[in-house]
Chains A and B, each alone.
Chain A
Amino acid sequence: MAISIRIPASLRTLTQAKEEVTVDGATVRAALADLDAKFPGFKDRLLDDKGVKRFMNVYLGDEDIRFLDGLDTPVKDGDSLTIVPAIAGGR
């Protein structure tokens, strides 16, 4: 079950600068857990006790997982997840 995850520039310190990594899992939750196992630190940056942190957005393809089944959204081989954090800056 190979799921690709696009890592935002601000979190690439956790992936040794890799823009995209491949993980395993049958749900978004499992895929993110595998991401954290391979590149420790993601869990703290992405999740809190309510789920995905409020200023983080996780997309399966083009769909925000909040509008699917959240962390329990099933994923299948070849799916692609993207993490998009809220950012402020550019003055």
Chain B
Amino acid sequence: MSARVLLVGVGGIGHPCALALAAVPDIELVFLDDDRVERSNLHRLVAFDEAHVGAPKAHALAEHIERELHATRPVVIVDRATPDSVRAHVDDADIVVEGSDNFATKFLVADACGLAGKPSVHGAAVGWSGTVLSVVPARSACYRCVFEDLPVGDAVDCATAGVFAPVTAMIGAVMAAHVREMLGPEPARAAKLSHFDATAGMFRHRTMQRRSDCPLCCEARVITAIDASRYSAPLCSH
């Protein structure tokens, strides 16, 4: 039976991750993204060219994977993760790959995965650095164990810092490797925080501990359902 891998966002990070997973046997890819290709994205969406500008990213990537890589065509859902829809999308998946560009979606998807007990791989890239956090529910630290809650004030997102294409490619590739490890005999081995610093040419991996007072994964957790008011941070438009 094949594993259903849901990619939330197939932009700069999800795109290289999907390409790396496309030919892996026994994986069914599902793309959830409602964004369109822009000319300014082309440097990091390596499978696309001028002709794709304006096309939905998810459809264009699914077509590329089928036609050029001769792999099974991914399922495409032209939508975004919202508090209303996220549980249905996550419940249908075996593993969730989250490469969105804003903290509201990151925490929303992390919470849905925690509630549904689905493993997740979260990736982000800003400027010259990036992080990957892989989570095996009830076994390893979750996104909230590490990053707690939506930042207030001066956290770094793509609205305030650019994205360097080789970093998104590197992060997407590492996420794909974590997905493969999670599908293997020892999924918990994939559970770690990897931090990439392109200026130092350095990848650092850390096994994270669960927090005993985590609002999502501790015994006395306070997050027991998706409540839209928890994710009301400004969205990033790029």
Contacts and interface: CB of A to CB of B under 8 A. Distances in A.
Give the contact-size bracket for chain B: 35 or more
Q: Majority SS of interface residues in chain A?
A: mixed
Contacts, number: 115
Give the contact-size bracket for chain A: 20 to 34
A9 to B, nearest CB: 4
A16 interface: no
B103 A19 contact: no
Contacts of A67: 209
Given A19-B199, A88-B103, A91-B158, A10 B149 contact: no
Interface in A66-90: 66-67, 82, 84-90
Given A19-B200, A90-B171, A55 B125 contact: no
A88 B206 contact: no
Given A88-B102, A89-B236, A55 B147 contact: yes
Nearest to B33: A91
B63 interface: no
B125 A86 contact: no
Given A9-B128, A67-B209, A91 B238 contact: yes
Contact of B158 (A64, A66, A90): A90
A23 B199 CA distance: 21
Contacts of A89: 12, 101, 124-126, 156-158, 161, 163, 236
Interface of A: 6, 8-10, 19, 45, 53-55, 57, 59, 62, 64, 66-67, 82, 84-91
